[in-house]
Structure 1
Amino acid sequence: MDKNTELALQAKNSPYIRNSFIQEHRNFILKISSLICRRQLDWANDDELSVALIAFNEAIDSYDRSSGKEFLNYAKIVIRNRLVDYFRKESKCTHISLESDEDSEISTYTLKKSMELYQIETENQNMAFEVMAFSEILSRYGITIEDLTSNSPTHRKTRFQLMNLALLISQHPQMVEKFKRNKQLPAKDICTITKTNKRLLERWRKYIVAMLVVLTHDELSGFRSYIFSERRGK
């Protein structure tokens, strides 16, 4: 764990350490905010820095070491998101001077890029929540993410074959109902209706279960689009 991450964790429960930590990182906050706003900001004149300072303090409260990010990298994301929120509420590009046509073009470009970054980060956060939900649902079927790592086909053709099988199963409400109720594949029904080889079903049971979970749970819609995008792009 790097020094700043360790201090950020200590700052959660110590007002003294928090204040000292924030003061020590005023230049960091200034630098990141200026980069996001594409101009040099000034503590005495720019409201964006107040927004960024509050965001940095918020990052201390919300930081979780289990995220895998070092604190300052996490703080950059929080500052960027809060500034984008600020820009949206202002409904104008106050973060860049509009004294010339060139500046106006830069302002429009900067806001657009900031919004794109905000959207990407939001999508990443939503995906993280869905991955957690996926892991929790899989556990009901006695499967872990680690199981899938060692029980997933490496060949593209086999993956597509199993995805297509899962899609076919998902189109039969009675099989889906049995699957969810019994927490296992209705093997006999699947083999009869889809003409699937029983050995294939047994060999890739965990992977097929995982694909069915993704296909039959509405809360995994984003995860579903991500996983099955490979199949659509074949």
Structure 2
Amino acid sequence: MQTMTKANMPTLTLEDRIMLIQNGDETLRNKIIHIYQPFIKKVISKVCNRFIDHSMDEFSIGLFAFNEAINQYKTGQGSKFLTFADMVIRRRIIDFIRKEARQSKNIYLDQAEIEDDSQQDESYLEQKAALEYFEEKQQIEERIEQIEAYKVLLKQYGISFKSLSKHCPKHIDARENAKVIANILVSNEQLSQYLQEKKQLPIKELLQFVSCSRKTIERNRKYIIALSLIYLGQFHALQPYVEPESL
């Protein structure tokens, strides 16, 4: 029997295959996980900054995280599956590193009668500082990746970063009001579906849920769409920048 590889799999996108798996194709799930093991190891190795093989705990965690990404991925969220899987794997590995750091601290404390307390504290502080540096670096990388994916998604709606900067409301109250409108839109399944299918803002329908005028919504149309896409695309690294103060 011929081995299934990326080259001879049916001409479906990876995202199409993920949908088939979510609909119950467990055989395809196993094939996809097997094929993308090199990808999983690459992500883990980048996070841990060292070589990872199949015998390590980190690799097992990466496999579980990749499978988790398969289950949680949603089409239309603005990013490709591998970008989303990369993010899930990174988070699970970081959680593992944190857990290991806490356990290491306990081990140092248990050896208090053997080792000098100051050496234990120094070792733990070095670990803590290294972990904080690592997490900050990962957050920056994740933010850059999501900005690129967000830029691609905005283009589908005829919006560029340059045009968005021009249409950003100048007054704080107007910006906060636009953020509230975006939250209302993404919280309503029919409104968010309309936006994603028509690539237009459902202004008439929105007027039933907001107190501002049609003119106000139309004036800030691009800004509201851009904010809504941050939530709909699950760009978690960008959301802190658009959370309305009134929520």
Q: Give the TM-score of the pair, scaled to structure 2.
A: 0.51
- Indicate which of 141, 146, 166 corresponds to 1:130: 146
For residues 100 and 189 of structure 1, the distance between their equivalents in structure 2, rounded to whole angstroms, comes to 68
Secondary structure of 2:207 counterpart = helix
Moved beyond 6 Å, runs of 4+: none
Contact 1:169 1:175 (C-alpha < 8 Å) held by counterparts: yes
Q: Deviations over 1:110-147 (max 9, x none)?
A: 11011011011111111111111111110000001111
Q: Deviations over 1:174-219 (max 9, x none)?
A: 111111111010122122442431111121111001011112123x
Comparing both structures, which one devotes a greater share of its residues to helix? 1
Shift of 1:233: 8.1
Gaps of 5+ in 1: 1-51, 55-84
Q: How does 1:106-117 map to 2 (within 5 A)?
A: 106-117=122-133
Distance 1:172 1:140 in 2: 21
Cα deviation digits, residues 88-122 of structure 1 (max 9, x gap): 79x869xxxx9743232222111101101101111
1:172 deviation in Å? 1.8
The equivalent residue for 1:63 is none
Distance, in Å, in 2 between the alignment partners of 1:92 and 1:166 is: 45
- In the superposition, relative to structure 1, how do residues 233 and 201 fare at CA in structure 2: closer, same or farther (>3 Å)? closer
What SS is found at the alignment partner of 2:129?
Answer: helix
Name the counterpart of 1:211.
227
Q: Distance in 1 between matches of 2:117 and 2:246?
A: 41
Equivalent of 2:217 in 201, 204, 223: 201
**SS across alignment from 1:174:** helix
TM-align CA RMSD: 3.0
Q: Determine which structure has greater relative contact order: mean sequence separation of CA pairs < 8 Å that are 6+ residues apart, divided by chain length.
A: 2
**Is 1:228–2:242 an aligned residue pair?**
yes
1:170 CA displacement: 1.7
The separation in 2 between residues aligned to 1:154 and 1:206, in whole angstroms, is: 14
- Partner of residue 4, structure 2: none
Q: Which amino acid aligns with 1:120?
A: E
SS of 2:194 mapped into structure 1? helix
| Bigger radius of gyration | 1
1:183 to 199, 215, 221: 199
Q: Aligned equivalents of 2:137 and 2:245: distance in 1? A: 24
In structure 1, give the amino acid aligned to 2:241.
I
Q: Deviation per CA, 1:38-77, whole angstroms, max 9, x where unpaired?
A: xxxxxxxxxxxxxx9x9xxxxxxxxxxxxxxxxxxxxxxx
Residue identity matched to 2:242: F
Q: Gapped runs of 5+ residues in structure 2?
A: 1-48, 52-96, 106-113
Q: Which moves more between the two structures, 191-200 or 104-113?
A: 191-200
For 1:158, the equivalent position in structure 2 comes to 174
Cα distance in structure 2, aligned partners of 1:121 and 1:169 = 33
User: 1:233, 1:175 → 2: CA distance?
Assistant: 21
**Contact 1:190/1:196 (<8 A) preserved:** no
| SS at 2:212 equivalent | coil
Q: Equivalent of 1:103, from 119, 130, 134?
A: 119
Q: Percent identity?
A: 20
Distance 1:145 1:105, change over 3 A: same
CA distance in 2, matches of 1:92, 1:213: 41
Q: What residue in structure 2 maps to residue 141 of structure 1?
A: 157
